[in-house]
Amino acid sequence: MLEKYRDEILSCTGCGFCKKLCPLYHLTKKEVDGPKGKIMIAYGLLTGEIKEDNSIIEALQKTPLCRICETTCPSLIKITDIIKAARHDLKKLLPAHEKLIEELQSINEKPEGEKVIFAGMQAKEIGAIKKISSLIDASPYYGGCGAAIERVGRKNNIIEKILQNFREAGVKEIIFYECDCMKFFSHDFKVSHIFDELKKFNLNYIGGRYIYHEPPELSYLGIDGRSIIKKIGEIVEFDSPKCCGGRIEFERAFPDEAKMLAKDLIKEAKNKNATIVTASPECYAHLKKYGNIIDMLELVERAMD
């Protein structure tokens, strides 16, 4: 699959601008942990100058694919797509990822009703989902979609079964909270993001100081939750884009690095005297272990009439 991105890879000048905002490189200062290092590895694999071994597999998998690097690349290189292509071409996976794929393949939750909120497998502890689901006459769905399988470089071999479950259940409309799954369903169902529903609610200004942690998919899709937070309290921003390390495949394979990323984000929020608001069940499940955080749906629930 790397061959598809040959021109993209050759367009990289090695300027290093992609490292400027890379959260992982910022903490480890290791060239191999930054996007430039991974592009160089992809180039070596493409040309045959580098052979696959455990160090190469680990280097290519050690990134949560937050896309922040792409915002500073002057050549507009699709860094994330290149890394995913390189992962696809690898013959082996990390043991943690092999175990995760087995776990995801065993999930077989069935949806209910014509209108479903796709909350994701890590959202069960977010109690506000049930209330908001009832308010919009939808049922919550806590299954997965296999996006993590695709992200580590393997074919998402469970999505067809999941799609069939949705068809057989008579689902017509899916409102996504775990938005990386949206792309798999858009051809078969009416899809939207839950923010479209939250913006319709009458929310009270309850005060508080909040800092928004934006998941990479939302930023990439242009879905912004700041307008919702501003109805509820004061909003401040991180000094630069942040990644919490909460991707399930990243956290499972690299728990120490995932913890470093989370604590760095928590530290800045604390220095700004702000509560982190996130809009991703993955990020919420990860960050709540380390500091003061609230899920967007929980915040909205507090501010409802």
DSSP letter for each residue of the chain: -GGGGHHHHHT-----GGGSS-HHHHHH--GGGSHHHHHHHHHHHHHTSS---HHHHHHHHS-----GGGGS-TT---HHHHHHHHHHH-S---HHHHHHHHHHHT--PPP-SSEEEE--TT-TT-THHHHHHHHTT-EEE----SHHHHHTTS--TTHHHHHHHHHHTT--EEEESSGGGHHHHTTTSEEEETHHHHTTS-B-----EEEEE--HHHHHHT---HHHHHTTSEEE--SS-------HHHHHH-HHHHHHHHHHHHHHHHHTT-EEEE--HHHHHHHTTTS-EEEHHHHHHHTB-
- pLDDT tens string, the chain, 305 residues long: the values are 999 999 999 999 999 999 999 999 999 999 999 999 999 999 999 999 999 999 999 999 999 999 999 999 999 999 999 999 999 999 999 999 999 999 999 988 999 999 999 999 999 889 999 999 999 999 999 999 999 999 999 999 999 999 999 999 999 999 999 888 999 999 999 999 999 999 999 999 999 999 999 887 787 788 899 999 999 999 999 999 999 999 999 999 999 999 999 999 999 999 999 999 999 999 999 999 999 899 999 999 999 97
Domain ranges in the chain? 2-92, 103-198, 209-302
- Alpha carbon distance 102, 180 (integer Å): 20
Q: How far is CA 269 from CA 132, 235, 238, in A?
A: 27, 11, 7
- pLDDT value at position 216? 79
What is the structure's pLDDT at 49? 96
pLDDT value at residue 218:
84
Which pTM was predicted?
A: 0.94
Which of 298, 288, 289, 293 minimizes the C-alpha distance to 276? 293
**Distance between CA 130 and CA 1 in Å, rounded?**
41
pLDDT at 72: 94
Q: Which strands form 139-141's sheet, in the order they lie side by side?
A: 139-141, 115-118, 173-176, 190-193
- What does the pLDDT read at residue 136? 95
Query: Domain 209-302 is of which CATH architecture?
Result: 3-Layer(aba) Sandwich (3.40)
Number of residues that this document lists for the chain: 305
* Residue 66 token pair: 């937050």
